[in-house]
Amino acid sequence: MKKLESKALRYVGTLARTLNSKSDLKFKQIGLQKGQYIFLTRICENPKTNLANLTEMVKVDKATTTKAVQKLINLGYISKQQNKKDKREFELIATEKGLEIYKIIINEERKHLEFSFDGFSEEEVKMATYLIEKMSKNIEKYWLDKDLTLYGEIHE
């Protein structure tokens, strides 16, 4: 069996899973369930966004976005308002309560950055950020590609 040439994605995956798991455990204290903090963050940072844009930002399916948004509405963290120009569309807006929770989330994210970049020089932080951003832009094409063909053969 051929091994991977690079473990970069394994490390990125470890970072993502660790931070998401820790965040989920911490944010339970403020009523947020698995991954909902990600949706709230994007709504706070992109006021009046809609479900389609939010789905694209978070890189999940529409059903997941719809469920998360409904739960955030039920918690009183966001509201859904009809778009004045297009009555078929709804805008998602953080409430005062949601903005307070957002501050907590951002403070946690700052702490995550502190832990993640411990021992890094300022230049290394910039370079790592640049490289991860570049990887994210590259993978965007893969996300948008509707081809679900497996790379490799399945033997029975």
> pTM for this structure?
0.86
In the numeric block, which tokens belong to residue 56? 């694209």
> Is residue 8 included in any domain, yes or no?
no
Domain count, the chain: 1
Residue 137 lies in a domain: no
Strand partners, 92: 49, 80
Residue (of 27, 114, 131, 19) closest to 77 by Cα position:
27
Confirm whether 107 is domain-assigned.
yes
Residue 134 lies in a domain: no
Q: Is residue 140 part of a domain?
A: no
Question: How far is residue 1 from each of residues 4, 10, 31, 52, 154, measured CA to CA in Å?
Answer: 10, 18, 45, 41, 14
The whole domain housing 35 covers 17-117
Q: Is the Cβ–Cβ distance between 69 and 77 less than 8 Å?
A: no
* pLDDT reported for residue 1: 67
d(CA 50, CA 65): 10
Q: How far apart are CA 130 and CA 24, in angstroms?
A: 27
Residue at 147 is within a domain: no
Per-residue pLDDT of the chain (156 residues; tens, 9 = 90+): 678 788 999 999 999 999 999 999 999 999 999 999 999 999 999 999 999 999 999 999 999 999 999 999 999 999 999 888 887 889 999 999 999 999 999 999 999 999 999 999 999 999 999 999 999 999 988 888 888 888 877 776
Q: Is residue 44 part of a domain?
A: yes
Is 46 a member of any domain?
yes
CATH code, domain with 91: 1.10.10.10
Residues whose CB falls within 8 Å of the CB of residue 128, separated by 6 or more in sequence, listed in order = 117, 120
